[in-house]
Amino acid sequence: MKKTDRVLITGAAGFIGYYLAKRLLSQGIYVTGIDNMNDYYDVRLKEERLSLLLSHTGFTFEKADISDGKTLGQIFQKSRPDIVVNLAAQAGVRYSITHPDAYISSNMVGFYQVLEACRHASDEGGHRVSHLLYASSSSVYGANKKVPYSTADQADHPVSLYAATKKSNELLAYAYSKLYGIPATGLRFFTVYGPLGRPDMAYFSFTQKMVKQETISLFNYGDMYRDFTYVEDIVTGIVNVMGKAPAPDADGVCHKLYNIGNSSPESLLSFVETLEKCLMKEGVIQEPAKKEFLPMQPGDVYQTYADVSDLERDFGFKPKTPLEEGLAKFAHWYGDFYGREKERR
Ligand SMILES: NC(=O)c1ccc[n+]([C@@H]2O[C@H](COP(=O)([O-])OP(=O)(O)OC[C@H]3O[C@@H](n4cnc5c(N)ncnc54)[C@H](O)[C@@H]3O)[C@@H](O)[C@H]2O)c1
């Protein structure tokens, strides 16, 4: 990637978007961030991330919804991005069972509008987008039994609407690459965690329950495996991929998919024990959590396990942060952030 490249990130006040923007800004790259600041989870976290980004002179923020095509087009005309990274989405597997509308609006209509904005960016002397990256998810592997999950495997048995929208994004991006020559890369993320993370994710909600001394529920009786990936590793992967738009495939289409995950699944139970240890060390909790063991929930998958050999081959990169190190950073941040919150009250 060139220092002069201008980058547009959707979902910039989100967890991964914030870390990506921060990394690029620290390298002197100009970033425009879009976010609608919705209240799917505690908006104070989004505001905190945003205020950290706004302290950089190279950062411009646009509060907008990606499903609003007209506004999106205007932002593209103004910011003239070389590279677009679409991270805005309605995330979460379980929420998609009760709130399907949010997924259709942000993940389907919103993603379509991002594709349209890329397609029309160069109209009337405008600026061409040279690479579109977009977030997909390990959830597209759905009920697949074969592990590790490879992008060469079929992934057309989603077990949630969230997964179905992410798989649809991959198909839409492929079609836009083929029809309009937009080079695009889809990144299938595997359970990303870290400081300033998402409260709807297990490691965060477990922590909140542990602090309140409430019982935590381990589904499938704790017998589930996740390929937890530290957020800074994900960002390194995204930045590497940003610098190299895909070459045309055998059909002349510049579209590629990669898994980004640790490639080392942890059992839910050992994950919780590591989290407890880190939180106790930071003084966030004083004793291990009370646990209840429950059956599998609809939409959940038994195991996620990334085959990242393509990423390693094409970019010489593989996530590497051990869970213990990443969770220690999360526990440290949590104690600090919520300690400060308590003082403010
Ligand atoms: N965190 C993970 O473990 C994980 C795993 C797989 C895939 N992903 C995907 O990665 C991307 C980023 O995830 P995250 O963990 O940072 O989630 P996040 O919810 O923290 O970030 C998404 C951001 O997008 C914004 N947003 C949502 N809908 C929008 C819309 N219509 N218009 C404008 N902004 C909108 C939200 O306000 C939020 O700040 C998402 O696409 C998610 O589906 C994340």
Give the CATH number of the domain where residue 254 resides: 3.40.50.720
Report the nearest atom of ligand 1 relative to the CA of 16: 16
Q: What is the pairing mode between strands 30-35 and 6-10?
A: parallel
pLDDT above 70: percentage of residues in the chain: 98
The C-alpha atoms of residue 327 and residue 46 are separated, in whole angstroms, by 20
Check: CB of residue 62 under 8 Å from CB of residue 33. Answer: yes
Mutate to test the pocket of ligand 1, among 8, 9, 18, 36 (most ligand atoms within 8 A of CB): 36
> How many structural domains is the chain composed of?
1
The C-alpha atoms of residue 333 and residue 152 are separated, in whole angstroms, by 38
> Residue 143's pLDDT band (boundaries 50, 70, 90)?
confident
pLDDT of 344 above 80:
no
Distance 106 CA to ligand 1 centre (A): 10
**Average of pLDDT values for 91-118?**
95
Task: Kindly state whether residue 338 falls inside one of the protein's structural domains.
Answer: no
The C-alpha atoms of residue 230 and residue 159 are separated, in whole angstroms, by 25
The C-alpha atoms of residue 142 and residue 249 are separated, in whole angstroms, by 26
Distance 91 CA to ligand 1 centre (A): 5
| Contact residues of ligand 1, CB 6 A cut-off | 10-11, 13-17, 34-38, 46, 65-67, 87-91, 106, 110, 135, 137, 189, 191-192, 198
The C-alpha atoms of residue 153 and residue 145 are separated, in whole angstroms, by 11
**Average of pLDDT values for 314-336?**
95
Any idea which of 56-65, 139-148, 249-258 has the lowest mean pLDDT? Answer: 139-148
pLDDT for the residue 136: 98
Q: What is the pairing mode between strands 83-86 and 131-137?
A: parallel
Task: Kindly state whether residue 292 falls inside one of the protein's structural domains.
Answer: no
Distance 35 CA to ligand 1 centre (A): 9
pLDDT of 21 above 80:
yes
Nearest to 105 by CA among 71, 158, 69: 69
Task: Kindly state whether residue 299 falls inside one of the protein's structural domains.
Answer: no
Task: Kindly state whether residue 169 falls inside one of the protein's structural domains.
Answer: yes
pLDDT for the residue 266: 93
**Catalytic-residue membership of 103:** no
Nearest to 308 by CA among 243, 234, 246: 234
Catalytic hit among 19, 41, 103, 162: 162
Distance 282 CA to ligand 1 centre (A): 28
Task: Kindly state whether residue 17 falls inside one of the protein's structural domains.
Answer: yes
Task: Kindly state whether residue 22 falls inside one of the protein's structural domains.
Answer: yes
Distance 250 CA to ligand 1 centre (A): 32
Which residue type occupies 272? V
> Residue 173's pLDDT band (boundaries 50, 70, 90)?
very high
**Average of pLDDT values for 239-262?**
96
pLDDT for the residue 298: 81
Task: Kindly state whether residue 162 falls inside one of the protein's structural domains.
Answer: yes
pLDDT for the residue 304: 87
In this prediction the pTM is 0.96
The C-alpha atoms of residue 74 and residue 85 are separated, in whole angstroms, by 17
Task: Kindly state whether residue 33 falls inside one of the protein's structural domains.
Answer: yes
pLDDT tens profile 176-207:
999 999 999 999 999 999 999 999 999 999 99
pLDDT for the residue 341: 61
Check: CB of residue 55 under 8 Å from CB of residue 83. Answer: no
The C-alpha atoms of residue 21 and residue 28 are separated, in whole angstroms, by 11
Domain with 245, as residue range(s), is 6-190+230-261+305-320
> Residue 3's pLDDT band (boundaries 50, 70, 90)?
confident
The average confidence (pLDDT) of the chain is 95
